[in-house]
Structure 1
Amino acid sequence: MTTQTEHRCSWAEGDALMRAYHDTEWGVPQHDPRMLWEMLMLEGFQAGLAWIIILRKREAFRSAFAGFDPEKVARFGEKDVARLLADPGIVRAQAKTRATIAGARIYCEMAERGESFADYCWSFTDGKVIRNPGKEWIAHSPLSERISKDMKKRGFKFVGPTIVYAWMQAVGIVNDHAADCFRRNAT
């Protein structure tokens, strides 16, 4: 909880769910490979929509996508695609659904080769959090462009530079909390 003297990032001031997400999760360095993958997939579903829509549907997404267990999602077939496209609790976009299933297969292929998805994600910053000044909002960066290009080369979809940058912020690879936000120095 914030006190009267504490401030949070302006985007998190209105909605209670957004506040809770900001205060407990956004920008916290995430090293769990499954969670990194889940957040990347959710950011892909967010493309063209407001994050609050995805946040409100997150539990339904988790249920529909087998807890975002990549091994389970990688085995999804056409019946699962049809089931997902009929599920009103999630964003029903065929391309995003298929991209998530393909993304699970890529994740599993990486694991089979002994490549940790977490190590891969953090390799772009040598395991360090990038701390931006917290004075301006940007939509992408040269680093998000580089990561996007690499992810696309691996076969991931819905990983353009803007989506990747939002994901980097969400999982704490980048600390973009506002300079006066009480969470800025918390991680």
Structure 2
Amino acid sequence: MTIDIREAYRRTLDDFGALVHQIRPEQWENKTPCVDWDVRALVNHVVGENRWAPELLAGRSVPDLGDSLDGDLLGDDPLKAFDTSAVAAAQAAGGERSLTCVVHLSFGDVPGEEYITELFADALIHTWDLARAIGADERLDPELVEACAAWFAGAEEGYRQAGVIGEQQPVPSDTDSQTRLLASWGRRS
């Protein structure tokens, strides 16, 4: 990966956040490309990931936190909930030890760099999902798309076996990088 993953993650959170601030009141119930998620559920998911990041990067484990980050994390001010969570996640991921620490996930321990990469990829794909759901510009940052695609080439099979992504979508061979990446995550762009 040519871009520092911490920078890629921060930029992706910025892009997602810009879309969150474009959501009109009537759009929170719009369906997204994520099965069974409307816009509010999608944003809540990303806020949840953001709120887990500082805790897990600090060495806490999923059992340590229990169900404290379950349910509605947006409350009455979804914009503030996202902004606060994104700042905390970016700060935690940007820390000096963030790449080398051990992160205790539900399925096992991983290096911090892998965890941050997974957060980045999830947020990037959900940036497109949110843009699609609210009718915003769906173009993702090409540098971030390339970084995600390079990493995901080695991770795709594991994600598919775990059932956390949709089926690979067919695309013509001359398709652009973003469309190929989205198709590998089960999205039809």
Q: TM-score, structure 2 length as denominator?
A: 0.28
TM-score calculated relative to the size of structure 1: 0.28
> Relative contact order (alpha carbons < 8 A, sep ≥ 6): 1 or 2 greater?
1
